[in-house]
Structure 1
Amino acid sequence: MNRPRGWSGLYRALLRLLPGELRDDEGASMADTFDRLLEDEDEPASKRRRAVHALVALLGVIARERWQALGRRRHDSEGRTTMDRWAKDLRYAFRTLRRAPVFTVGAVALMAVGIGAVTTVFTLVDHVLLRPLPYPAPERLVTLENGSFPGPMVQRMDRVPAFDRWAAGWSTAATLTGEAEPLRVEQARVTRDFFALFGADAAIGRLLAPDDETAVDRAVLSHAFWTRALGADPEVIGRTLVVDDERITVIGVTESSFSPPAHLVGASPDLYRPVDWAAPRNAEHDYQVLQVVGRLRPGSTTADAQAGVDAVVAGLADEVPGDYRQQSGEPSEVPVTALQEVTVRGVRTGLGLLLGAVGLLLAVACTNVAHLFLARGIGRAREMSVRRALGAGTSALARQLTLEALVVGLLGGALGTLLAAGGLKAFLALAPNLLPAGAEVTLDLRILGFAAAVSLATALLFGLVPAMRSIRRDPSDGLGGASRARTEGRRLGMARSGMLVAEVALSMILLAGSALLMRSFLEVRAVDPGFVADGLWSVPLTPTDLETPEQYVRAMEEIRASLAAIPEVESAALGLALPFTRTGNSRCCWSQGRVTATGHDGEISRLSIHPVSRDYMRTLGIEVLQGSIWPAFQTPPTPRPVVVTASTARELWGRAEAAVGQFFIDAEGEQWAEVVGVVADHSHFGLDQDMGVSAFLPIEALPFPIPIGEMALRLRSDAAPADLGRTVREAIWRVAPAQPVPTVRSMNSMIDRSTAARRFDGMVFTVFGALALLLAAGGLYGTLLYTVGRRRREMGIRMALGADHRQVQTRVMAGGLIHAAVGVAVGLLGAWYAGRWLESRLWGVAPGDPATLAGAAAALLAVAALASWLPARRAALTNPVETLRAE
């Protein structure tokens, strides 16, 4: 017998899912009817539509019959099914909540605010801190810390037995020519196992392999660069590009999802090329640019890798005296640390603080939800008493209240998840550097599950528990004629007061934290940078194909002179590390080690040197306090002329006047530089960072080997940004046609960017603090309004016995302000403790700053006074005659 195939076979297969009794009685008839329906259709499209409709209908029948069959197996003593009971109670819960729109909207909105904030921040924490890095065996990836490393040391990583595989690399700016106009690109140099270590795949072509280590003319493009600069050209494989005047061949493009560790090769390289081990500089022990990441062998530990790296460093310290030893004579320390730790180190504290802040906000919101459910439960005491008197059991009433709380929780969670989606976009837009490079954050099923769990737990804990009080009362209490005149019990009143105090205290902690962070931001922005930022512009450059310092200086001076000749430009200056190009805790990478100074006892631990052109101070508007700027010269004199900052002069020689004429002495005892002037202190690494011991020397006396892949120009001009940018590009390309010119940026925008993290902290915590303040005010207002409604008879009697409106109003306000004052006092203690967690994020303000905490407390009390006055005013308008008549 041939089995039916096609639509008939599928229909008969689905018939087997019907309950056995129905399948035996009706299955054959239903199958025959389906076959006749298909036979009546001649067109294939019509037959297909008829079959699909019939299959969908059958699936509905299967679901309904299975549900009813399950319910029939769970009959209770009254003959009703458990499913029917729950469905009926669920419909009643929706009707009940629909009849109380103020309560429902308020509870759902409060839960949505708290759950949305917590879900947003938890999403960031989960993706960044809790999930492993997106590489193979991420728990076994480690990296070397304490700076960059030279080629001879990196090449000995094969001698570390604990490493199963390792890779090294670094990234530099480069120039791509041959396209429409020169482009500045980020070029990563990587070792043979780089792509294999991080599990990368190619979108087209192939990736670098060990055999390519000597083929330095090959390159792999990042997917983003391939799309952005080359229009996702599918024929790019085999194409020749000119990078830094070298012709390279494209052999592949990475997948769009691949993002290497920023610790190794920067945030987003445009192209990858093999490390050129044949280059002389990569064999030098003092050319330290490489970062190293390795994967431990199964069974090996970080301690094993540390021992292997220590052995490599000790061996080099013996072979190359001076380059691998500390001042104490011991071999240099090179810590081996988990890559996960290094990747998230910079954001862990910030995300932890955000999670704590939204936790407090959720607690405030949940306390308000508990208030609403408690007040609603008390108001429904009569309803519950009537239902109990009519025979409803405790389990039935509890089931109804549970469903109401769950409905509110799920609605609040759904709305909160929508808010979290928007909040996540806002976070990432406002703080693009909040996350490590490569961290892709989305609301996936794991996050949705977290939101659902928080919603249900919040609803049951803060909604159901307070509401359950209404079914614990004796039915006669709710049915008594004087029930409306009864006042709250002492325990219930204490519970409400405790929740109100806790709500105000939590709000005080958030408000104080936001005030401290915003005060810190304002203190930083109030710092005078020490130069005139208005009208100052920055132009970063990436010079290439320059083999000697003389060529470098000559090429850069030609560009500077071309810009200075523009009529709209007042002056132009050059510098290797100009203000606000390296901000935060970063320091410039040029220093003169083991230096002493005449007139100063002891060795200078670190002298940061800043090569700049002669008109640097004039262009930036930095005041010369003593001496002068070095004169113009063709050949750098010996010793080099330098200018120091006022703080450097005071630290080394006690006062600025004593600095001019002093000398810096190098390790060989030679007079390395002579101080010819002292300039005013100014911000270089950020408004909240000092420069340390610093000296400015002529760029013509450049003490560094070539190549140096960066340079920056500063221009002073009042021209419009759009006009200036076009004019600057034309002026540069007149003397350097292959020089890429990125966007011309104003100094004010660079200062703004340097304070972006503090601004973000202050802004986000201020939003949280404002929400907590409004929630606390709403909770106080709602509590007093409820209390006034419950005590109308008492107030009517008081006013009938002679109390005036002012006394009633004062009494109600005093009750609210007492609760607020107690909450503020408790919150101040919590804020003082929480301030210690914020200490690392503060500048210019102490964690327990009295003025800031007092201001936050005053703001909270002022809002509490307003929230108390509105119900008090309503109480004062009570008509005693009407109130007593109603009672």
Structure 2
Amino acid sequence: MHSLLSLADLRQILRRLARERGFTLTVLLTLALCIGANVAIYAVVDAVLVRALPYPEPGRLVTTVNAYPGAGVERAGASLPNYYDRREQIKAFASTSVWQGGNAIIGGAGSPQRVDRDRVSPEFFATLGVPLAMGRTFTEEEMFYKDSSRAILTDEFWRQQFNADPEVLGKTFIVDSLPVTVVGVLPPGFRYFTSKARFFVPLASDPKDRLPDRRHSNNMQLIARLAPGASLAVAQEQVNALNAQQVEDDPFSSLLKGAKFRTDVFGLHADTVRDIKPVLLLLQGGVFFLLLIGGVNLVNLLLIRASGRTKELAVRQALGAGAGHVAGEVAMETVLLALGGGLLGLAVGAAGIQLLAVLGTDYLPVGSAIVFDARLALISLGASALVGLLLSLPIIWFSLHARLASVLQTESRGGTTSRAAQRVRHGFIVAQVALAFVLLSGAGLLGLSLRKVMSTSPGFRPEQVLTGNIALPWKGYPENEQRLAFMERLLTELRAQPGVVAVGLTAGLPMGGNINNSATTIEGQDPAPGESVRAHYMAPSAGEYWQAMGIPLIEGRFLEDADNHRDLRVCLVDQDFARRYWPGSSPLGRRLSANPKFDEKEAFTIVGVVGNVKQRELAETNAQGAIYFPMKGNYTPNGFSVVLRTAMEPTALAPMLQKVVLKLDPELPVDELKPMQAWIDESMVARRSPALLAIIFAAVALVLAAVGTYGVLAYAVNQRRREIGVRMALGAQPGQVLAQFLGLGARLLAAGVVLGALGAWGAGKAMQKLLFGVGAVHPGVLVATAAVMMMVVLLATFLPSRRASRVSPIEALRDD
């Protein structure tokens, strides 16, 4: 016979697979599930971690991050003076730009709408390498407020707002009550990472904003493109040299040295995905484990099937079938099965990508690029073919090493599987149990961590609290007095509404992402030599904000409306702040200044201490300390949040809040109208989604482990049916036979659990940074995992063992 496969061989393989429908369907479904899960997760990993940024020469794009570790601030963005200084003096940067997110009001009176809009420098799009579809970018003159009423539109906004008008350049639209002229339109599909900006405006400023004393107002992102031949290391050296030069003549030189000020230069892509990378790699590892478990399961199933065809293979080899022909036929069959499972897996993967979108992939950097496309399909099918080849290797080895003479001389009814083949199959069961144990214990650690996070008190009572965001446009409210007057009218109106228990305002809503921290000095407490002042959260607040949020008063009093009109400047601090500076004593009456140096004229007197609040997420462990100032003189351009406590369902008050605001100002929208609990839930997406997916993967792994164990032991019972019949005819009791097979399953389970426990320890160590309040090894999780594995595997063992104990000696001896 020829060693090469023919079309007839292919037809024969397909006919055989069609005849063995149960076997074929099991293989296809197993592969579809395992490959589909990998396709879905890899689509996310590919879009976020693997693919280059969608800009020309993306490897040359970098960002700089200021850090003040001595003040407790590891990442602080960049400032406007940083941009101008580094643009001129860092030769390793061929182009330098800055970006700042935000929003603006568009639309007329009665139907205002707030949309995302970003502020950028003139070189922003050139730095990214994105040419405008029409028009021009901003000029240097437009970087000053007096000439900054210009906008560059996204393609989507141009089509929706201007009906894709080809003559849009030079036309105006109203932004924050001011006419803004369109100077450019971006190409279709442009989006800067997670930004959802509809248009861009100049990052304008006053000349004083560019002075050295503003170098550390780090509220923007600096993006640069490396010059040809320049490297990250060269750029880092030049930035370090510039910092060293500037620190010496900086107005806050000694404080910067104490804060160990530095600037880090990172690749833009690597820096953007730094937080989500461990989570995605964890999920990719989880689905890879799932594929391993499925592969082990299928190898055992294929070995069982090959054992049943041993005589057929022996006859064919005796008749001249070459080793290459046998190996090729086995490889072709498994690759065909794998490709079939891969095709089904593509459908499962496409559905999985939709599920992942529900779980929050849009929050990821370049999350909008997560798509099911031809590239992903080709990679998946190529990986499926590779899986098929790997699955074929043990089957080829088994098929080529069968002892032909003994097989041909053995009657089918008396034949038993060789000890070597049994050991191989039992080894695969152990591996399958161990892998499932690792996956299940990892899911248990993530689930326990999630439960601990969710049971952590945020420091306030989110139930029955409604929030909404308002930003006052500078045209209508250019002065502090006008902004404060609006807020006081709003508080008065809302207090009079039915269903409102308490109402407050804040510029630093917990979990809202608008968290500001700044260096603070304490009267009479100068930093020791070599140390620095610390940065603390700062939240201008008004009304009954603390009562509305359910933040407890520990000492003193809350802020009052009258504090906005008194000469004495007062503030509240939280317990972490008080303990840091006055451990064991009262902070009431003490004074602080929200400046790197204590300023007598801008000092605030502490009149109260409130409970600690989780500002960024429930898993926050750093005791940063917080200060609450009156709204007077502390309004931020990002606006403020309204907080309403009600005795009813919070969302029921949303129409009322919008109505009250429009009554006070018909051109002012209220955004982000949602219960306070929704902010907490959204902050948990990065923890909840991995835990949920890990639990799904673990459940599938359990099913595969059970099916694999059942299949191997059921085959063993069938192969040894004649032997069991003989033993029972000679007096063996059913209970003895049952105990024999149960004992075999228990030994395999024990070996798998021991190996799995070692693997779980390693997995726990790798996951440590993603866990909250849970160690790499948790006895409760290991015990629970072992119990679940025992229950599932022993059940899968019991069914064929029970069948073995019921074998009739007469029928077994009568079988051919």
- From 623, 648, 668, the equivalent of 2:598 is 668
Alpha-carbon separation, structure 2, partners of 1:410 and 1:103: 16
Q: Quick one: percent identity of the two aligned structures? A: 31
Q: 5+ unaligned residues in a row in structure 2: which ranges?
A: 67-75
Distance 1:346 1:680, change over 3 A: closer
SS at match of 1:307: helix
Distance 1:216 1:693, change over 3 A: closer
Instruction: Determine if contact 1:563/1:569 at 8 Å carries over to the other structure.
Output: yes
Structure-to-structure mapping, 1:795-834, within 5 angstroms: 795-834=724-763
Which residue number corresponds to residue 16 of structure 2? Answer: 96
Instruction: Determine if contact 1:201/1:255 at 8 Å carries over to the other structure.
Output: yes
Instruction: Determine if contact 1:629/1:676 at 8 Å carries over to the other structure.
Output: yes
SS at match of 1:175: strand
- From 579, 584, 588, the equivalent of 2:515 is 588
Question: Offset of 1:603 from its aligned partner?
Answer: 7.4
Question: Offset of 1:850 from its aligned partner?
Answer: 0.7
- From 298, 314, 324, the equivalent of 2:228 is 298
Structure-to-structure mapping, 1:284-295, within 5 angstroms: 285-286=213-214, 287-295=217-225
SS at match of 1:750: helix
Alpha-carbon separation, structure 2, partners of 1:680 and 1:138: 46
Answer yes or no: is 1:226 the counterpart of 2:158: yes
Distance 1:194 1:647, change over 3 A: closer
Instruction: Determine if contact 1:89/1:399 at 8 Å carries over to the other structure.
Output: no
Instruction: Determine if contact 2:518/2:538 at 8 Å carries over to the other structure.
Output: yes
- From 406, 425, 440, the equivalent of 1:496 is 425
After superposition, the C-alpha distances for 1:566-594 in whole angstroms (9 at most, x for unaligned) are: 11222210111022213xxxx82243423
Instruction: Determine if contact 2:510/2:616 at 8 Å carries over to the other structure.
Output: yes
Letter in 1 for 2:465: L
After superposition, the C-alpha distances for 1:603-652 in whole angstroms (9 at most, x for unaligned) are: 76233332211411221222223332245526555653333333443444
Structure-to-structure mapping, 1:336-415, within 5 angstroms: 336-415=265-344
Alpha-carbon separation, structure 1, partners of 2:563 and 2:283: 56
Question: Offset of 1:206 from its aligned partner?
Answer: 4.7
Distance 1:635 1:348, change over 3 A: closer
Answer yes or no: is 1:543 the counterpart of 2:463: no
Distance 1:619 1:723, change over 3 A: closer
Answer yes or no: is 1:559 the counterpart of 2:490: yes
Instruction: Determine if contact 2:572/2:629 at 8 Å carries over to the other structure.
Output: no
Answer yes or no: is 1:112 the counterpart of 2:32: yes
Which residue number corresponds to residue 169 of structure 1? Answer: 99
- From 530, 535, 545, the equivalent of 1:616 is 545
| TM-score in terms of structure 1 length | 0.84
Instruction: Determine if contact 1:377/1:468 at 8 Å carries over to the other structure.
Output: no
Which residue number corresponds to residue 36 of structure 1? Answer: none
Alpha-carbon separation, structure 2, partners of 1:505 and 1:673: 61
- From 221, 239, 249, the equivalent of 2:171 is 239
Distance 1:469 1:707, change over 3 A: closer
Name whichever of 222-231 and 368-377 sits farther off: 222-231
Which residue number corresponds to residue 185 of structure 2? Answer: 253
Instruction: Determine if contact 2:132/2:186 at 8 Å carries over to the other structure.
Output: yes
Question: Offset of 1:565 from its aligned partner?
Answer: 1.9
Distance 1:814 1:769, change over 3 A: same
Distance 1:597 1:735, change over 3 A: farther
Distance 1:319 1:570, change over 3 A: same
Alpha-carbon separation, structure 2, partners of 1:603 and 1:402: 67
Q: Which has the higher contact order (CA 8 A, sep 6+)?
A: 2
Alpha-carbon separation, structure 2, partners of 1:618 and 1:784: 65
Letter in 2 for 1:297: A
Instruction: Determine if contact 1:164/1:294 at 8 Å carries over to the other structure.
Output: yes
Alpha-carbon separation, structure 1, partners of 2:256 and 2:319: 87
Distance 1:795 1:336, change over 3 A: same
After superposition, the C-alpha distances for 1:26-48 in whole angstroms (9 at most, x for unaligned) are: xxxxxxxxxxxxxxxxxxxxxxx
Name whichever of 626-635 and 411-420 sits farther off: 626-635
Instruction: Determine if contact 1:607/1:695 at 8 Å carries over to the other structure.
Output: yes
Instruction: Determine if contact 2:61/2:224 at 8 Å carries over to the other structure.
Output: yes
SS at match of 2:609: strand
Letter in 1 for 2:616: F
- From 57, 60, 64, the equivalent of 1:140 is 60
Name whichever of 664-673 and 333-342 sits farther off: 664-673
Answer yes or no: is 1:312 the counterpart of 2:245: no
Alpha-carbon separation, structure 2, partners of 1:623 and 1:165: 50
Which residue number corresponds to residue 268 of structure 1? Answer: 196
Distance 1:284 1:744, change over 3 A: farther
Structure-to-structure mapping, 1:176-215, within 5 angstroms: 176-178=106-108, 181-208=111-138, 215=147
Question: Offset of 1:390 from its aligned partner?
Answer: 4.1
Distance 1:683 1:607, change over 3 A: closer
Answer yes or no: is 1:123 the counterpart of 2:37: no
Letter in 2 for 1:673: F
Structure-to-structure mapping, 1:704-783, within 5 angstroms: 704=634, 708-720=637-649, 723-783=652-712
Distance 1:317 1:781, change over 3 A: same
Alpha-carbon separation, structure 1, partners of 2:122 and 2:562: 47
Alpha-carbon separation, structure 2, partners of 1:802 and 1:596: 94
Distance 1:596 1:570, change over 3 A: same
RMSD: 2.9
Which residue number corresponds to residue 799 of structure 2? Answer: 870
Question: Offset of 1:805 from its aligned partner?
Answer: 1.8
Which residue number corresponds to residue 70 of structure 2? Answer: none
| TM-score in terms of structure 2 length | 0.91
Distance 1:591 1:233, change over 3 A: same
Instruction: Determine if contact 2:573/2:626 at 8 Å carries over to the other structure.
Output: yes
SS at match of 2:562: coil
Question: Offset of 1:227 from its aligned partner?
Answer: 4.2
Question: Offset of 1:721 from its aligned partner?
Answer: 5.6
Answer yes or no: is 1:687 the counterpart of 2:612: no
Question: Offset of 1:596 from its aligned partner?
Answer: 5.3
Name whichever of 573-582 and 662-671 sits farther off: 662-671
Max Rg structure? 1
Alpha-carbon separation, structure 2, partners of 1:651 and 1:325: 19
Question: Offset of 1:284 from its aligned partner?
Answer: 6.7
Letter in 1 for 2:92: A
Alpha-carbon separation, structure 2, partners of 1:181 and 1:384: 79
Answer yes or no: is 1:605 the counterpart of 2:534: yes
Question: Offset of 1:830 from its aligned partner?
Answer: 0.7
After superposition, the C-alpha distances for 1:354-377 in whole angstroms (9 at most, x for unaligned) are: 121111111111001100110011
Alpha-carbon separation, structure 2, partners of 1:210 and 1:366: 61
Question: Offset of 1:600 from its aligned partner?
Answer: 12
Structure-to-structure mapping, 1:438-477, within 5 angstroms: 440-477=369-406
Distance 1:99 1:213, change over 3 A: same
SS at match of 1:485: coil
Alpha-carbon separation, structure 2, partners of 1:693 and 1:295: 34
Question: Offset of 1:669 from its aligned partner?
Answer: 7.1
